[in-house]
Structure 1
């Protein structure tokens, strides 16, 4: 008897109006969400009586990292409340879980502080403004990203000596920009939203009427500097010729060649594994980009310390060479751990953490690095870890928060708010979110209050880390 042929599962049929329903239903859903979480309720922040000690949360993250690098993480977070905030996404995620939720979700950056918005290169070699870091990306309440951005502006404003009124103006401008852009996106078609991007040249023309000559000159210099931060610049800065061979120049402890990091047998074993990772991660790229990757050969590799919150995660930089020794490509393979949002928003839909990061980045960014991909790597300790791979440096320009006046931070916050709205509009129900936000400034004012309250909490948490360092509970090193 012939076995019955298994039936193929039916492809789900989208409901009328797409994933979210009709336009009318979506707008109604947004208005109804105000009952569950009034817009004014987002002003509130009161730490839970059961709030976990912030140093305990940081140490729990550090336990999974390279232990010899952990003191550098604590040293960087100790420097200022703003540096602490950059490394404390996990602390804030736990706090945000107890704040009001509209019930509307989007793909989150997960760490949308102001310095994660910067100038980046598009594959077409255009200079763009977009979100940069997606280590914590996950679907979740859209409010969480906006609140992390708002609080970062207040913390940076306090460091710069801004008055209460100036800080409130900065935050309200950023949140208003988010709200107004989301309402504009609600009126656009799906493809129009998807194709929206913020090019540096267009931004200069848009902001020219409100910029003085000094600010226009500063913007020009920022664009030029971003274009100089490319692979060739990294190549000249990070490599040298030894015995006729181009190698990465060690600068311990922040940059160490594998050959200098481990005994011969171990470093050769790890080099082989990382080489296989670079080869096999190409399967996560489109066929044309995989073809381009295969035209390069691996020349050297090193361990690199990056960022503030990421210090201690395994991060390998790999030097590849093309047609000759002046045709370099630097790739960065960075360890991807579980998102700090996962305990509160769910684990997400992807099998590996590297794919989670890459999928979130591709969804939120207007255009992404052509070499962005993911793979798993088995270390010489036998443990399998998830990684995502991208170019080390490709036209990157970052604002120096300490150099921003109230006026310039207000303009920068406005741009960040618009950029975050575009990212959320691609992945979330923009019509429902826009309907929830409305045309008034209730939400803007609420977040200005929240941001001040959370900045107070961040200062207390920063002090807790300083106290832990002084007491010898944790060790901090400057690097």
Structure 2
């Protein structure tokens, strides 16, 4: 049985004893379920899948989830989609119900990086949960994220209301624009059409240097540094990773030659991510363009499991493993990482990406004024609209046989109505997340097993 199949089976089995769930008749949270049991189910399944080998990161994960409502929301997308399945769908989910969504929409899953054409851009940068489903799932998750991030940042409820309304109106406006022009094919956010924080992140990306990243993680002589976040691996794992890189290199949009992909050193990366904590994550140092260590590349190989939205639409695509998020990134963001690809490290399906020297992720801590909040929300909404619009009939292989932007545009029959519905959902569900986080923190402090 493949690892992803075992993981899904384990989650299903673990959820069987969770207890009573609400019916679809309930319009809003609170929900009648045990959030701690649901999070335990998915994390315990990962513990079993990896035979305890990633329990160190699972322990880190429990600390992080218990630290704040924002961190809890970021790290529990399976709980969100479980709840979506119990709650009434959006009244606007009448079209665009089978489009490629990012799956884990929130502000910190965007950032600046150097594009495939060597132009710095601000884009969606995490597709681990990408799947085919309703555009409303992404919009609702992004809206909940804005409420929780706003509360964490000290925004007033009135300011938060404006943030969510801006998200929806900007999303709808750009869906309409893409429908009318088909601009989504090559649209992106660069230094010429952004402002404030996103412009700053792009400027930082433009100033970043490969030498700085290599100096942080490597000896500059073909090996990784001794670092508490990097762990040596057994010889058998190293062999699996060498084989994985050899298999991966031709799956990238811009394939690496055998000499460029020559493996120099490998490590397991600890403590990275939030939702992905507890999955295997490896860094592999490869040769790069020349034999000089100055242009070595660090590849990141991240274990992939079934994406959270799959529970709501289990048969919309047959793409699995690392191929699904790699292709989704290629489809949802223009000029995205040209080295994104996939392989298996032994029996572990992995997404392979370059650990980019030019990446500058957005952090909600950087949202320091109402002006920055407003501009950032608009940019995030545009990215979401572009992602949903791009991956359709116009790109071979997506499996979506119609115009996604046309279907979504038709479904949005009232922007004020969609705003009101989204705001009601987002604020109510954010309250639920806060209650769930408090229950999780109480369970952790009480010594309840969490994975």
In 2, Cα distance between equivalents of 1:219 and 1:315 = 28
- Output one character per residue of 1:292-332: Cα deviation in whole Å (capped at 9) or x when no partner: x5334211111113211111100110011232122210100
Secondary structure at the aligned position of 1:316 is classed as strand
Rg: which structure is higher?
Answer: 1
- Output one character per residue of 1:140-169: Cα deviation in whole Å (capped at 9) or x when no partner: 011000011111111011111111111000
Secondary structure at the aligned position of 2:255 is classed as helix
Partner of 2:322: 354
Does the CA-based 8 Å contact 2:267-2:283 persist in structure 1?
yes
Give the paired residue count.
Answer: 400
Shift of 1:230: 5.1
- Partner residue of 1:397 out of 355, 360, 378: 360
TM-score of the superposition, structure 2-length normalised?
A: 0.83
- Partner residue of 1:71 out of 52, 59, 83: 59
Partner of 2:192: 202
Shift of 1:130: 1.2
Does the CA-based 8 Å contact 1:250-1:257 persist in structure 2?
no
- Partner residue of 1:466 out of 430, 441, 451: 441
In 1, Cα distance between equivalents of 2:450 and 2:424 = 35
Partner of 1:290: 256
Secondary structure at the aligned position of 1:330 is classed as strand
Shift of 1:460: 0.7
In 1, Cα distance between equivalents of 2:319 and 2:380 = 31
1:304 matched to 2:295? The reply is: no
Secondary structure at the aligned position of 2:175 is classed as helix
In 2, Cα distance between equivalents of 1:136 and 1:462 = 21
Partner of 1:331: 299
Partner of 1:235: 214
Partner of 1:275: 242
Partner of 2:372: 408
Gaps of 5+ in 2: 1-23, 48-53, 393-403
Partner of 2:339: 371
Gaps of 5+ in 1: 1-40, 208-214, 259-266, 379-383
Partner of 1:119: 112
With CA pairs under 8 Å and 6+ residues apart, which has the higher RCO, 1 or 2?
A: 1
In 2, Cα distance between equivalents of 1:334 and 1:441 = 40
Matches within 5 A, 1:39-118: 44-49=27-32, 51=33, 53-63=34-44, 64-65=46-47, 66-97=54-85, 98-101=87-90, 102-103=93-94, 104-105=96-97, 106-118=99-111
Does the CA-based 8 Å contact 2:172-2:415 persist in structure 1?
no
Shift of 1:247: 1.8
Give every structure 1 segment of 4 or more consecutive aligned residues whose post-TM-superposition deviation is greater than 4 Å.
Answer: 218-221
Does the CA-based 8 Å contact 2:304-2:321 persist in structure 1?
yes
In 2, Cα distance between equivalents of 1:99 and 1:394 = 43
In 2, Cα distance between equivalents of 1:83 and 1:421 = 25
In 2, Cα distance between equivalents of 1:440 and 1:67 = 46
In 2, Cα distance between equivalents of 1:387 and 1:409 = 35
Partner of 1:157: 150
Partner of 1:249: 225
- Output one character per residue of 1:176-204: Cα deviation in whole Å (capped at 9) or x when no partner: 10011111111124xx32122222x1224
1:131 matched to 2:124? The reply is: yes
In 2, Cα distance between equivalents of 1:314 and 1:251 = 17
In 1, Cα distance between equivalents of 2:199 and 2:326 = 31
Change (3 A) 1:127 1:99: farther
In 1, Cα distance between equivalents of 2:76 and 2:205 = 27
Secondary structure at the aligned position of 1:270 is classed as helix
Does the CA-based 8 Å contact 1:112-1:149 persist in structure 2?
yes
Matches within 5 A, 1:170-181: 170-181=163-174
